Structure 1
């Protein structure tokens, strides 16, 4: 953990404190930048000390209020330390964004069981454990929880079995928590991310657990990380239950709901014609 409390910036989140898991890079880093720019004090998180330190220095140099905590969010004790970083630095916690996760690029038939478990754990327990540690503090302030999911959770995606299963689980978890804690005033929402530009060093796991580049994505289908972060901020501000990013994501949701067989036909056709999209 590093950093000290400093004067808050003005803005709609002034006086509030946010934890964003997986914020050492990518969408998490840009979401931290947006929330801190709106006045929040932000606890940055990641597993790589060097990368986390670079992000911390970058955002602090922009005049944003941040501290950082190295923590593996699939380790509950580490998540307790992450929450304590927020409380010891700022005295409260208002917003949790569970963004950290591992993705994959492997067909189920080829995957080693331990790799499936690693991907699933990162997406499920990587949200459950931070939330369990943070929930007492969020209940005290009627705070906000946002799970970062994917449009691939809406209809499944070949070569993404564990990732899709984990991201779909988050939507059901959020729904269940809204029912269980309906009187608490805590916001539980899910953002289904679409295709997004990645950092050059972004890697996913292959069937044997080795890091490989993410599958090809046509640039015209992608949003920038900053655009996605702004949508996440609007989702939190409006305390929405679900936000599906991109026209493609909304189309997938519509077809999956009303015409599921057509949706499967489109996916299977794309597997045959656009193999590099999956492999």
Structure 2
């Protein structure tokens, strides 16, 4: 197996074209395109300078669309596959991530539309992972000022008392789903229960998310997601050791 590493910025169309061109020059064909680019944030919409959040959309949305545009002719020839990380927030939006949620919802619908246009010539598997061991769950976010920072305090607020899946488990589920040609892969699978609430009892989710992420405790002024985590010590049980901090 040969590996070719390239550096660049997926938010730049020219770099994305170069990635594909260099791949074809080196290997002669393209069988799979895995789109996993994204950068999140963790603050309420009214707290942000919206102009500083353009990179969230540039990376999370256009950073997936550009490579797809230039890869499609080669994938048609190889009858290859596109695997894209759309995130569970594409259909289950979570407070404090408004622009990221919008970008992921856009990605989800872009690839659903593209599927109608190009299948069966090119297969598409859309992944919608929940919280998974990653740079984001280690605290890497876009700050209010538009800088990429590592902030474990914000991570604790955003992830809160939700289980975080191991990266290896997630990767195995993605590969298994892509190999079998599945249209969608939800990992962890227990998130599927939220589909029922989203359709039949959305008010329940609204109430839960408002309590966890919007309201703050009177004692410390923290969102309840963070207060629950600190009070119960649940992080040791719910988070993989690599992100416990």
TM-score range normalised by the length of the shorter chain:
0.7 to 0.9
| Contact kept in structure 1, 2:161 and 2:225, CA below 8 Å | no
Give SS of 2:5's match: strand
Indicate the residue corresponding to 1:152 in structure 2: 89
Residue 69, structure 1, aligned to residue 6, structure 2:
yes
Indicate the residue corresponding to 1:213 in structure 2: 151
CA RMSD, 1 decimal: 2.1
Indicate the residue corresponding to 1:189 in structure 2: 125
Out of 69, 78, 82, the residue aligned to residue 19 of structure 2 is 82
1:69-218 residue pairs with structure 2 within 5 A?
69-182=6-119, 184-199=120-135, 203-210=140-147, 211-213=149-151, 215-216=155-156, 217=159
Out of 189, 205, 208, the residue aligned to residue 266 of structure 1 is 208
Q: Per-residue CA shift, 1:221-255, capped at 9, x if unaligned?
A: 11111111111111210121111111442122231
Q: Deviation of residue 93 (structure 1)?
A: 0.4
Residue 230, structure 1, aligned to residue 166, structure 2:
no
Residue 257, structure 1, aligned to residue 199, structure 2:
yes
Q: What's the TM-score, normalizing by structure 2?
A: 0.80
Q: Which runs of 5+ in 1 are unaligned?
A: 1-7, 9-64
| Contact kept in structure 1, 2:79 and 2:121, CA below 8 Å | yes
Indicate the residue corresponding to 1:241 in structure 2: 183
Q: What's the TM-score, normalizing by structure 1?
A: 0.71
Indicate the residue corresponding to 2:231 in structure 1: none
Greater CA deviation, 139-148 or 218-227? 218-227
Distance in 1 separating the partners of 2:84 and 2:189: 20
Identify the structure with the greater helix proportion: 2
| Contact kept in structure 2, 1:144 and 1:188, CA below 8 Å | yes
Give SS of 2:91's match: helix
Distance in 2 separating the partners of 1:205 and 1:104: 5
Identify the structure with the greater strand proportion: 1
Q: Deviation of residue 202 (structure 1)?
A: 5.0
Q: Deviation of residue 115 (structure 1)?
A: 2.5
Q: Which runs of 5+ in 2 are unaligned?
A: 216-222, 228-245
Q: Per-residue CA shift, 1:26-61, capped at 9, x if unaligned?
A: xxxxxxxxxxxxxxxxxxxxxxxxxxxxxxxxxxxx
| Contact kept in structure 2, 1:106 and 1:205, CA below 8 Å | no
Q: Per-residue CA shift, 1:162-185, capped at 9, x if unaligned?
A: 111111111111110111223x42
Give SS of 2:126's match: strand
Q: Per-residue CA shift, 1:171-213, capped at 9, x if unaligned?
A: 111110111223x421122101111123596511121113242
Q: Could you say if the C-alpha distance between residues 220 and 180 of structure 1 is closer, same or farther in structure 2, counting changes exceeding 3 Å?
A: closer
Distance in 2 separating the partners of 1:243 and 1:115: 32
Equivalent residue pairs, number: 213
Indicate the residue corresponding to 1:20 in structure 2: none
Distance in 2 separating the partners of 1:203 and 1:256: 28
